[in-house]
């Protein structure tokens, strides 16, 4: 059995682990290594390729940033103008058989008049409730009712968020919201409705970047190549973490001793595979049930034909209603033409979007091609049939006019990710307040990342990367971790304290 020893060990080669590795390499303080069970870097920001040559990300990822350091690293990895496409977000909500510009609550002017009335009446009632309220909202549903009112709650916010999170809004806290949900201006909404106008782009991802080659996963493969190859150890699966002995045991029989451990494994998995003082393990196990998650099904469809005008320059689209199983669809071929096979590639038709149309010609034919990527959530409150969800998704694409019945499908993709989303549940913060300090203060273990620190509000790629960077600075120097502890602070400013050079 081989035993290694490093000052700092990083588990996971997704954005968080690579952020930690990048900072360790830059600081050059002590020895370090990164391990991952996968054969290459990417983690939950990787990209799959179908046999036919269509690329699909692990969910909907785009690049926008709150941090100069993150920008430095991404630019170093992919420095050429041709490495990127830059896009203006063109996003809509499918509601009442019309496309409502995002954010929905600011653009009710395109809805039928009866629904406009419901929405505005609800916002007026909500304004009165806010004036009378003496305490903060106790859950996400109360926040929705106070900020938007009954009309928008029932038309969009409640059904959409159940489709995303697979739990009711009453079971979610509202501290996570920050910049992620736009609170409507009653004056602006009424003015736009009367003048039949729509509001402009809102939010931090109103413009975004996407890599020209390799999908989102191509970014992180490129970042990994800027690090010493001998320190990145792939196909290494963790079987046990002996916290007291500062040792990670691997499934191949090897082990690695460390002074500091930065882990991006799921926090629940870490707790279940941790050895430590009995009272500490009991504290962690008692808090763990309050870490709730949903699974995510990512479904991709490759289509032969010219991108239709009804799709145009749309980026991603939201679906609150029950005429389709997915909550979000991405026109993935719009992000980069290289997300699809080249036009001259000949592929056989697999089926029509509406199977009742018969069978398309199976003789391979040339493109052009375009693609859709859908996301479907699952939980015990919202079950999904693995055997039928692809078929249901295709039917949903026809029902919502993403596809026409006679569109020819040439490639399909379906992959389930468990876990998919860390739920901002009512007891999440209380659980994290019990778990994370025990790991860090008693055992020098820094559990970070989308499921390592279980905070969706700092789960974008830039956040995730900086969680790893800041964990290194805390482990080595005792520096504060602002992204972990103060999401509203880092999201409300341009963070320039760290630079790569």
Q: What is the DSSP letter of 324?
A: S
369-381 pLDDT, tens digit per residue, is 999 999 999 999 9
* Mean pLDDT calculated for residue range 68-80: 96
Higher pLDDT residue, 65 or 351?
351
381-400 pLDDT, tens digit per residue, is 999 999 999 999 999 999 99
Band (pLDDT 50/70/90 cuts) for residue 141 is: very high
Distance CA 453, CA 484 (A): 8
200-244 pLDDT, tens digit per residue, is 655 555 788 899 999 999 999 999 999 999 999 999 999 999 999
- pLDDT attached to residue 1: 44
Extents of the domains making up the chain? 3-45+68-76+215-292+424-491, 105-195, 293-422
The answer to whether the CB of 78 falls within 8 A of the CB of 211 is yes
**Quick one: three-class SS letters along 465-484?**
HHHHHHHHHHHHHCCCCHHH
pTM of the model: 0.93
294-337 pLDDT, tens digit per residue, is 999 999 999 999 999 989 888 999 999 999 999 999 999 999 99
Distance CA 287, CA 445 (A): 17
Helices (H), 352-411: 389-399
Distance CA 348, CA 366 (A): 9
Band (pLDDT 50/70/90 cuts) for residue 121 is: very high
Q: Which residue has the tokens 């029950």?
A: 322
- pLDDT attached to residue 103: 85
31-47 pLDDT, tens digit per residue, is 999 999 999 999 999 99
Q: What is the residue-averaged pLDDT of the chain?
A: 93
- pLDDT attached to residue 183: 65
The answer to whether the CB of 69 falls within 8 A of the CB of 469 is yes
- pLDDT attached to residue 362: 85
Q: Is the pLDDT of residue 178 over 70?
A: no
* Mean pLDDT calculated for residue range 7-32: 97
Q: Is the pLDDT of residue 431 over 50?
A: yes
Distance CA 63, CA 125 (A): 38
Instruction: Looking at the structure, give the CATH architecture of the domain made up of residues 3-45+68-76+215-292+424-491.
Output: 3-Layer(bba) Sandwich (3.50)
Percent of all residues in the chain with a pLDDT value above 90, rounded to a whole number? 82
């Amino acid at each position: 059995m081989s035993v290694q020893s490093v000052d700092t060990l990083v588990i996971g080669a997704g954005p968080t682990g690579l952020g930690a590795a990048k900072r360790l390499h830059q600081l050059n303080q002590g020895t370090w290594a990164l391990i991952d069970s996968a054969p290459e870097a990417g983690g939950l920001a990787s990209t799959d390729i179908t046999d036919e040559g269509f690329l699909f990300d692990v969910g909907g990822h785009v690049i926008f940033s709150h941090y100069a350091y993150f920008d430095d690293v991404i630019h170093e990895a992919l420095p050429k103008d041709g490495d990127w496409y830059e896009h203006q977000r063109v996003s809509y909500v499918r509601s009442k058989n019309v496309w409502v510009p995002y954010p929905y609550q600011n653009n009710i002017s395109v809805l039928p008049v009866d629904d406009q009335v419901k929405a505005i009446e609800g916002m007026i009632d909500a304004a009165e409730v806010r004036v009378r309220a003496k305490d903060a909202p106790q859950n996400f549903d109360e926040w929705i009712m106070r900020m938007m009112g009954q009309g928008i709650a029932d038309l969009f916010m409640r059904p959409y968020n159940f489709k995303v999170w697979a739990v009711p809004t009453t079971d979610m806290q509202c501290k996570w919201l920050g910049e992620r949900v736009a609170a409507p201006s009653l004056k602006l909404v009424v003015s736009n409705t009367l003048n039949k106008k729509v509001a402009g782009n809102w939010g931090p991802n109103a413009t975004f970047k996407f890599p020209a080659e390799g999908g989102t996963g191509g970014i992180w493969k490129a970042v990994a190549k800027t690090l010493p190859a001998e320190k990145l150890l792939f196909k290494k699966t963790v079987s046990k973490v002996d916290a007291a002995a500062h040792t990670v045991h691997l499934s191949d029989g090897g082990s690695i001793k460390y002074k500091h451990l930065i882990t991006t494994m799921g926090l629940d998995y870490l707790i279940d595979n941790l050895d430590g003082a009995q009272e500490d393990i009991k504290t962690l196990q008692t808090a763990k049930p309050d870490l709730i998650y949903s699974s995510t099904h990512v479904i991709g469809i490759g289509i032969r034909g010219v991108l239709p005008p009804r799709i145009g320059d749309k980026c991603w689209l939201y679906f609150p209603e029950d005429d389709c199983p997915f909550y979000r669809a991405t026109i993935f071929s719009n992000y980069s033409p290289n997300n699809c096979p080249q036009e001259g590639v000949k592929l056989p038709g697999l089926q029509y979007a509406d199977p009742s149309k018969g069978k398309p010609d199976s003789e391979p034919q040339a493109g052009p091609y375009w693609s859709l990527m859908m996301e479907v959530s699952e939980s015990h409150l919202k079950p999904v049939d693995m055997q039928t969800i692809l078929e249901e998704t295709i039917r949903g694409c026809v029902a919502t006019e993403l596809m026409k019945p006679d569109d020819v499908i040439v490639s399909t993709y379906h992959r389930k990710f468990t876990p998919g989303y860390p739920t901002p549940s009512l007891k999440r913060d209380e659980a994290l307040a019990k778990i994370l300090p025990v790991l860090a203060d008693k055992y020098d273990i820094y559990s970070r990342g989308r499921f390592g620190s279980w905070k969706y509000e700092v789960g974008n790629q830039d956040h995730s990367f900086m969680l790893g960077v800041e964990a290194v600075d805390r482990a080595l120097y005792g520096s504060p971790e602002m992204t972990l502890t103060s999401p509203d602070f880092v999201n409300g400013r341009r963070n320039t304290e760290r630079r790569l050079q």
